[in-house]
Chain A
């Protein structure tokens, strides 16, 4: 017994052996896929309808359209007047929301399992029968414009971010933000939305993800009844422009009257699961954790603790996308330090990370964190539906969730080094400075 235990300690388990998440997939008779994650903690489900269309599919010159369409989905069908969807769901104890990304649009409702038939009727109806009035279009256009004011125009950091996306992606649709450019949003019409909705919103482009207290058999019956009978419609074949080679680093400096704390952002195009393959992104996640994922990271230890030239620094990577991934470094200069000085220090640290391999212990801790994340993510059905939905909308199988621990376990120092060499290509970088108004400190 003691010997087995000792061995267990020596070969410290790098892949925590947890049960696979029970994911079931089936297809309705019209081809629409359904994914179920059973979870019987409370007698409710999260029902999430994902459409394989997002801001990246906005019509040319019509940025913000996919998001506007998402808003209009709550603004009335032939059978259900404006506001009734929300009221009916709420008064049946349901909590609802929706969101648009570059890649997809998702409508999620968490509700008692026995209200699913009602919900599915409503969802099937608005999937195909959107019919808001002109007044509702006009009013809701104002709402999305206020949303842009709130989340972008009121916030200098968001203005920088929007500008940096446009510089990082010069040809790829990720160039434009989900919310859209103000002048294009103001020009969006009712016809734009109806055309968009008609072109994309049908079962051929939808995936239903359900997490919660329902069995496959029960769900199959319901989904077949309410969605399976709908005409599939034409499957959308995405044909996004890709990004040409990046020939040199780009730089942008924004001075804004409301800035009191300068900020530096350094972004790179990075591997995405479709652009580079589902195995290649995993070392990039590890790299982000090691180089900038918290106070033990190399950027933080070097720039904040040792050199004291930053008060905070972090790295963030996401490659679970339909398009390319992005690797971001954000840093706050210490008082008296200029942004060029800070940028220099970051470059030196990036060079150092390219010159040496990550330490075994740092690598191990990063892998442990990344693996554990998916165990913690199982706590709560809405989070699960969203996590699995995001995988599917990136083109991955939902089972990627269960493959993840093994993929992480495989990552070695050499893989991380390769990822760094691939990502930290200064030609592919955009650096942003956010500064107070000129003449102010």
Chain B
């Protein structure tokens, strides 16, 4: 079976004539744009709208959690429908609306059976253009968020990431907590929410992606339906580029009485538009993205030593910062050993880089598996959003595999020397034992 690993033929996306899904730009009458993938295989339409310059990093001090709160409120009443009426209207046609708040932007997504798309579009437009922000709904949502925050505070993964943000972005709004704090949530009032609507939701810096059983003409009508009615007053808040800070020599410990320590680590990374971004994606696969059997972290921490159930890394791209995050969790008695192995693997990659075999394997997985992520409307809508956010080009889906295949061994290994020269931030949430190097926090 060993010979099977060496496969000469090119992987299907890399050289077949079968093109990726076709993306077209649709322009509305008021200058709004949407990117569309028309696909009539299923009688379903999916849409995603991202509101730029309105994410968690734009929450003002003292009102952390506002962006998240505001988005939660969008399905709590709009136009002349209170929360109950609005949600019944959605359910009547099984219309699904979801909301999200990330660092740079917030988003609302829609999924509807195409036979009800006109109702769906109207309800979506109402939600984003005429949210009611009723006082009783505000109080109810504030209570729910407070309960969620309390539950999250029990969770070592959350506690680790909260500490990590403080360490990585000490003087930058990227340290804002998505749901805010128990103190900040209760300070958010109707005026704040209305201001959010006027400065973010009403403004035309939206990224709109549409996928599914819908024509270009219908998409243009959709854009018209969505056009904001409120006047846009863009926020004065700006978020500047920032590099995550390097780590201290010793891991930072967030004490908690649990049997398994959760470890989160990070390295500053290349920004999305850096010409060597694709080399970094390949490097990350070898480092920890390739899973249990095809990455250094997976193999050394889990598959060879059985220290953890999960040990992986991923690339994180904000508009103004980028980092590679590492995650693993192991019993308290082994936590420091696992961290030691992680540090050893980083040094190995820095000093010796990846092998040609690893480079080829990474490329084969990354290019070969690409179509798997294009097989659902939701993931296509997410791709379209990313492509617009980072100006990747409307033909990105067709180009993407050749960009990966163009990566060379020396690019990857030069990059490893740069990225892994940094001392990573390491946060350990739990009760790691037996060390005299830890810094108690």
Chains A and B are bound partners: yes
Q: Are A260 and B154 in contact (CB under 8 A)?
A: yes
One digit per residue, 1 when the CB lies within 8 angstroms of any chain B CB and 0 when it does not, for chain A 372-390 equals: 1101101111110000000
Q: Which of A83, A112, A122, A361 contacts B12 (CB 8 A)?
A: A112
24 A-B pairs with CB atoms under 8 Å apart are A83-B292, A83-B293, A90-B364, A91-B5, A91-B7, A92-B364, A110-B369, A112-B12, A112-B371, A113-B12, A125-B1, A139-B305, A143-B302, A258-B154, A259-B154, A295-B83, A296-B91, A311-B146, A312-B144, A332-B147, A368-B91, A368-B92, A375-B44, A376-B96
- Residues of A within 8 Å of B115, CB to CB, are 16
Q: Are B43 and A18 in contact (CB under 8 A)?
A: yes
Q: Are A93 and B368 in contact (CB under 8 A)?
A: yes
Q: Which of A95, A143, A263 contacts B369 (CB 8 A)?
A: A95
Say if the beta carbon of B319 comes within 8 Å of chain A: no
Say if the beta carbon of B87 comes within 8 Å of chain A: yes
Say if the beta carbon of B94 comes within 8 Å of chain A: yes
Say if the beta carbon of A44 comes within 8 Å of chain B: yes
Say if the beta carbon of B413 comes within 8 Å of chain A: no
Q: Are A91 and B374 in contact (CB under 8 A)?
A: no
One digit per residue, 1 when the CB lies within 8 angstroms of any chain A CB and 0 when it does not, for chain B 324-344 equals: 000001110000000000000
Q: Are A149 and B259 in contact (CB under 8 A)?
A: yes
Query: What residues make up the interface of B, taking CB atoms closer than 8 Å to A?
Result: 1-2, 4-5, 7, 11-13, 16, 18, 39, 41-44, 46, 83-84, 87-88, 91-94, 96, 111, 113, 115, 136, 140, 143-144, 146-147, 150-151, 153-156, 256-260, 262, 290-294, 299, 302-310, 329-331, 360-361, 364-365, 367-372, 374-379
Give CA–CA (A141, B155) in the complex, Å: 25
- Residues of B within 8 Å of A114, CB to CB, are 12
Give CA–CA (A80, B2) in the complex, Å: 7
Q: Are A375 and B368 in contact (CB under 8 A)?
A: no
Q: Which of B91, B96, B259, B369 contacts A365 (CB 8 A)?
A: B91
Q: Are B309 and A143 in contact (CB under 8 A)?
A: yes
Q: Are B377 and A379 in contact (CB under 8 A)?
A: yes
- Residues of B within 8 Å of A219, CB to CB, are none
Q: Are B143 and A112 in contact (CB under 8 A)?
A: no
Q: Are B147 and A257 in contact (CB under 8 A)?
A: no
Q: Are A41 and B375 in contact (CB under 8 A)?
A: yes
Q: Are B306 and A369 in contact (CB under 8 A)?
A: no
Known: A154-B329, A260-B154. 14 other contacts (CB 8 A): A44-B375, A83-B299, A83-B303, A86-B291, A90-B293, A91-B364, A93-B367, A143-B309, A260-B151, A335-B143, A335-B146, A365-B92, A371-B94, A380-B375
Q: Which residue of B lies closest to A12 (CB)?
A: B92
Say if the beta carbon of A118 comes within 8 Å of chain B: yes
- Residues of B within 8 Å of A84, CB to CB, are 1-2, 5, 293
Q: Are A260 and B153 in contact (CB under 8 A)?
A: yes
Say if the beta carbon of A146 comes within 8 Å of chain B: yes
Q: Which residue of B lies closest to A153 (CB)?
A: B259
Q: Which of B136, B153, B293, B368 contacts A86 (CB 8 A)?
A: B293
Say if the beta carbon of A230 comes within 8 Å of chain B: no
Q: Which of A80, A311, A369, A371 contacts B1 (CB 8 A)?
A: A80
Q: Which of A42, A142, A155, A371 contacts B306 (CB 8 A)?
A: A142
Q: A139-B305, A368-B92 are in contact. Are A154 and B258 (CB under 8 A)?
A: yes
Give CA–CA (A22, B295) in the complex, Å: 38
Q: Are A93 and B44 in contact (CB under 8 A)?
A: no
Say if the beta carbon of A232 comes within 8 Å of chain B: no
Q: Are B113 and A93 in contact (CB under 8 A)?
A: no
Say if the beta carbon of A87 comes within 8 Å of chain B: yes
Q: Are B258 and A88 in contact (CB under 8 A)?
A: no
Give chain A interface residues in 138-176, CB to chain B under 8 Å. Answer: 138-144, 146-147, 149-150, 153-156
A interface residues, tally (CB under 8 Å): 80
Q: Are B378 and A90 in contact (CB under 8 A)?
A: no
Q: Are B260 and A150 in contact (CB under 8 A)?
A: yes
Q: Are A261 and B151 in contact (CB under 8 A)?
A: yes
One digit per residue, 1 when the CB lies within 8 angstroms of any chain B CB and 0 when it does not, for chain A 1-32 equals: 00000000000000010100000000000000
Q: Are A93 and B140 in contact (CB under 8 A)?
A: no
- Residues of A within 8 Å of B156, CB to CB, are 154
Q: Are B308 and A146 in contact (CB under 8 A)?
A: yes
Q: Are A295 and B84 in contact (CB under 8 A)?
A: yes
- Residues of A within 8 Å of B46, CB to CB, are 379
A-B contact count (CB 8 A): 214
Q: Are B1 and A88 in contact (CB under 8 A)?
A: yes
- Residues of B within 8 Å of A381, CB to CB, are 375
- Residues of B within 8 Å of A419, CB to CB, are none
- Residues of B within 8 Å of A121, CB to CB, are 1, 4
Q: Which of A93, A95, A364, A382 contacts B11 (CB 8 A)?
A: A93
CB proximity of A180 to chain B, nearest CB, Å: 14
Give chain A interface residues in 34-74, CB to chain B under 8 Å. Answer: 39, 41-44, 74
- Residues of B within 8 Å of A43, CB to CB, are 12, 16, 18, 371
CB proximity of A377 to chain B, nearest CB, Å: 10
Give CA–CA (A296, B367) in the complex, Å: 44
Most central of A39, A90, A305, A376 by chain B CB within 10 Å: A90
Give chain A interface residues in 299-355, CB to chain B under 8 Å. Answer: 301, 304-305, 308, 311-312, 332, 334-335
Q: Are B294 and A368 in contact (CB under 8 A)?
A: no
- Residues of A within 8 Å of B260, CB to CB, are 146, 149-150, 153-154
- Residues of B within 8 Å of A92, CB to CB, are 7, 11, 364, 368
- Residues of B within 8 Å of A122, CB to CB, are 1
CB proximity of A398 to chain B, nearest CB, Å: 19
Q: Are A90 and B294 in contact (CB under 8 A)?
A: yes
Give CA–CA (A74, B372) in the complex, Å: 22
Give CA–CA (A381, B373) in the complex, Å: 11
Q: A44-B375, A143-B308, A261-B154 are in contact. Are A88 and B302 (CB under 8 A)?
A: no
Say if the beta carbon of A254 comes within 8 Å of chain B: no
Give chain A interface residues in 86-136, CB to chain B under 8 Å. Answer: 86-88, 90-95, 110, 112-114, 118, 121-122, 125
Q: Are A91 and B361 in contact (CB under 8 A)?
A: yes
CB proximity of A212 to chain B, nearest CB, Å: 8
Give CA–CA (A374, B357) in the complex, Å: 43
Q: A143-B308, A375-B42, A375-B44 are in contact. Are A90 and B365 (CB under 8 A)?
A: yes
Give CA–CA (A84, B294) in the complex, Å: 9
Give CA–CA (A150, B262) in the complex, Å: 9
- Residues of B within 8 Å of A147, CB to CB, are 309
Give CA–CA (A372, B303) in the complex, Å: 42
Give CA–CA (A143, B394) in the complex, Å: 44
Q: Are A156 and B44 in contact (CB under 8 A)?
A: no
Q: Are B309 and A146 in contact (CB under 8 A)?
A: yes
Give CA–CA (A42, B113) in the complex, Å: 22
Most central of B42, B360, B361 by chain A CB within 10 Å: B42
- Residues of A within 8 Å of B376, CB to CB, are 379-380, 383
CB proximity of A339 to chain B, nearest CB, Å: 14
Give CA–CA (A82, B153) in the complex, Å: 39
- Residues of B within 8 Å of A296, CB to CB, are 84, 87-88, 91
- Residues of B within 8 Å of A85, CB to CB, are 293
Q: Are B294 and A87 in contact (CB under 8 A)?
A: yes
Q: Are B361 and A87 in contact (CB under 8 A)?
A: yes
Q: Which of B153, B293, B377 contacts A87 (CB 8 A)?
A: B293
- Residues of A within 8 Å of B256, CB to CB, are 258
Give CA–CA (A143, B92) in the complex, Å: 46
- Residues of B within 8 Å of A44, CB to CB, are 12, 371-372, 375
